[in-house]
Each structure stands twice: as C-alpha cells, then as structure tokens.
C-alpha cells in the first residue's frame, strides 16, 4: 500500500491528495522539460559559435550514436531534424572498386564486338543490341522482377582526351549550356571525406509526359595506378529537396561509367563503358519506354561528344575534376579549379545520361 501525502492546490478550495505515483509522474515531466530547455540552450550556443557545416556534423554524430543503440529512434530524429545521413547514403569505396572491375567486361566486349550481337550475347546472357553507331553500341537486358531494362553503352573516341570527357560528365554549369533539356541542375550537398555530392536535376521529357526530376548522389574517382576514371551515381532522398507538384520524381536510378585512356589522361583516345537504368514513372508499355531510351541515348551521346570538342577547342571554360586522388587517400581536395583558355587542355565537359 502506497503511503499518501497531502498537497494544497492554490486554485482549489480544499486539500488535494496525490499518491507517490502522481508525484513521480510530475517529477518526470519537470525533468523532461528541464532537459528540453537545456537542449535548446545548448543548440542556441552552438548556433552562435559554429558554422553551418559544423552544426550538421554535430547533428550527424549525435544521430549515429542514437542509431547504434536505438535505430528506429535515431532515424525518426534524423527525419525531424532534416539531416541527410551520409554514412548510410554515400557511395562506398567498394562500389567504386566494383565499377573498376567492369574494365574487364569492357575489354572482353571490345574483343568480341567484331562479331557484333552474337559474340556480345555470348559474353553475358540476356544482353540484346539495340543501337549500333560508328563510335558506340547500346545493349539492353530486362531487369529481373521488373518491367524495366538496364542499358549498357560501349564507346570509343579518338578526337578528345579522357580528361576532357570526364570533366564533361561532372561540370554542372557547362551542362546547363549544352543540354537544352535541363530545367534545373545544382549540387545541394557535399561530403568532404569522400568528395561525394548530392545533385538535384530537373529535365524535360518527351511530349506529352511531364518533366521529371532526380535527386542522386554521385562520386567520382581517378585511379592513376590502374589508369581508370570512374563515376557512379544513384538515386537518394534528401531533406533539402522534397517532392513537389512541379515535377514527377524519379526514385529508381543508377549510372556507372568507367573510362580507360588508350595512352594517358591528356592524350586523345579512350574507351568507356556506361551502365544505366532508371524508372521514369510512366504508364507507357515497356517497349515504348525502351524505344524512347534507345532513340534518346545516341542523341545525348552526340551532344556530349560535341560539348567535349568545344571544350577541347577552348571555346568554353570548365572545371577540372581530375585533380582528385584515389579514394583510399583521405587528402582529397574539397574544390576544383575552373579551367580557362590557358589551361583548358586538361579538362572537358558533360554529364551522365539519365
């Protein structure tokens, strides 16, 4: 039997009795309120003392601690705080390394490409050639348990350098100039340790479809030891870019590109392998979507090639992303140099197909 204690309520005419359980509940509420006020005071202090980037790092560290002990609670807190969790969403070193291994597929495909479709089909089952041009070939294969296709492009250019072509993939400001389909294209977040970036891209789709927008994380790497350039992108959700009625959000998207110079990064000539898939959220049958991608891909690659040639001829200034070092090195630079006419021979321009 719990003992009873008499308390007097100033708003009441007589004594009000409360049990110890009620006292304990009141005490817990008081303590919780005190902690919340203290947390707000600490937050205001950090807001005055530290930069925006440092504050997000602090919140991320707190979230990781919560996640290790109470995963559901940590995710809930992160959602409320509007924090993008790089630890979970960033492109890992292993993903970059796996893309490097696709060089073997590129070499095998190039050796077998003289036999065209038959030989390439023997290399990996399920691939069907859909486009064959002078500078590249496009294959597709069904994605298991899906109505979608995955596409593979094997191409080669002899009139631009690998560095120029690689930079074309990454220079957002230049992409806005040479790609007339771009509505919006901007970097919304960066990860200092890996060089990963979150990009928001809105683009026109063929009539009568609505415009689409993509939010994706991308990471690029230059492997000087193995003479490779690698670019990986995949769709993510980011609190700074919520869905709107203006565009149809594409939630399923990934792209991987591997570039191998014929000689060096700054001499003309290279091969590339692009593997790509997305779900454009259309109601059209699969063969219609396949036709749109198969016809749109060559046009995009032609525009990309032309943009790289313009950069080579010093008609535009672009950023040099090839100054990055291997992903295993933690001293990756946090910014890139914009190349002008004096040093544009070390850069190119463009962006991945999506």
β-pairing verdict for 136-142 and 128-132 = antiparallel
Token output for 91: 């492109």
Residue 11 confidence (pLDDT)? 43
Residues 216 and 234: beta-carbon distance below 8 Å: yes
Q: Where are the alpha helices (DSSP H) in 249-352?
A: 286-312
Residue 150 confidence (pLDDT)? 92
Residue 17 confidence (pLDDT)? 47
Contacts of 112 (CB under 8 A, 6+ apart): 119, 120, 122, 123
Entry field: residues in the chain: 354
Residue 206 confidence (pLDDT)? 83
Residue 193 confidence (pLDDT)? 84
Local confidence pLDDT in tens for the 354 residues of the chain? 454 444 444 444 444 444 555 554 455 555 555 665 666 565 565 555 555 555 555 555 554 555 445 545 555 555 555 678 888 888 988 888 888 787 666 676 566 655 555 444 445 668 899 889 888 989 999 999 888 899 999 889 999 999 999 999 999 999 999 999 999 999 999 998 888 999 999 999 888 889 999 999 999 999 888 899 999 999 999 999 999 999 999 999 999 999 999 999 999 999 999 999 999 888 777 667 777 777 788 888 899 999 999 888 766 667 887 764 444 444 444 444 444 443 443 333 333 333
Residue of 238, 218, 186, 200 lying closest to 82 (CA atoms): 238
Tell me the sheet residues that pair with 18. 5
**Calpha distance 256→271 (Å, rounded):** 14
Residue 242 confidence (pLDDT)? 95
Helix (H, G, I), strand (E, B) or coil at 271: strand
Residues 311 and 164: beta-carbon distance below 8 Å: yes
Residue 262 confidence (pLDDT)? 95
pTM reported for the whole predicted model: 0.68
Q: What burial class does residue 161 get, using C-beta atoms within 10 Å of its C-beta: 0-12 exposed, 13-18 middle, 19+ buried?
A: buried
* Dihedral of alpha carbons 68, 71, 73, 77, sign: positive
β-pairing verdict for 212-223 and 248-250 = parallel
Q: Where are the alpha helices (DSSP H) in the chain?
A: 20-49, 52-69, 71-81, 86-89, 93-112, 116-123, 162-170, 172-178, 286-312
């Amino acid at each position: 039997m719990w003992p009873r204690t008499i308390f007097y309520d100033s708003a009441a005419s007589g004594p009000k009795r409360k049990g110890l359980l009620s006292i304990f509940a009141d005490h817990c509420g008081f303590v919780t309120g005190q902690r919340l006020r203290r947390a707000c005071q600490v937050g205001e202090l950090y807001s005055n003392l530290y930069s925006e980037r440092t504050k997000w790092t602090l919140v991320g560290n707190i979230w990781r601690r919560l996640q290790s002990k109470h995963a559901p609670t940590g995710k809930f807190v992160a959602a409320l705080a509007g924090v993008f969790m790089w630890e979970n969403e960033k492109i890992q070193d292993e993903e970059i390394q796996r893309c490097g291994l696709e060089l073997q597929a590129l070499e095998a495909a190039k050796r077998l490409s003289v036999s065209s479709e038959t030989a390439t089909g023997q290399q990996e089952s399920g691939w069907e050639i859909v486009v064959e041009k002078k500078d590249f070939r496009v294959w597709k294969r069904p994605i298991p348990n899906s109505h979608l296709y995955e596409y593979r492009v094997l191409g080669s250019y002899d009139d631009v350098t690998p560095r120029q072509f690689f930079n074309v993939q990454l220079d957002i400001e230049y992409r806005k100039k040479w790609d007339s389909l771009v509505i919006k294209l901007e970097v919304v977040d960066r990860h200092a340790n890996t060089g990963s970036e979150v990009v928001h891209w809105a683009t026109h789709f063929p009539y009568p479809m609505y415009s689409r927008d993509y939010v994706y994380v991308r990471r690029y790497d230059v492997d000087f030891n193995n003479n490779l350039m690698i670019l990986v992108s995949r769709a993510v959700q980011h609190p700074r870019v919520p869905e709107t009625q203006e565009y149809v959000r594409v939630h399923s998207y990934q792209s991987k590109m591997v570039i191998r110079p014929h000689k060096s990064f700054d001499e003309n000539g290279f091969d590339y392998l692009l593997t790509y898939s997305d779900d454009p959220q259309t109601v059209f049958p699969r063969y219609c979507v396949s036709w749109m991608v198969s016809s749109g891909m060559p046009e995009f690659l032609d525009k990309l090639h032309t943009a790289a040639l313009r950069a080579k001829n010093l008609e535009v200034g672009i950023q040099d992303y090839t100054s990055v070092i291997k992903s295993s090195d933690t001293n990756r630079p946090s910014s890139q140099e914009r190349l002008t006419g004096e040093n544009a021979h070390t850069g190119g321009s463009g962006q991945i197909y999506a």
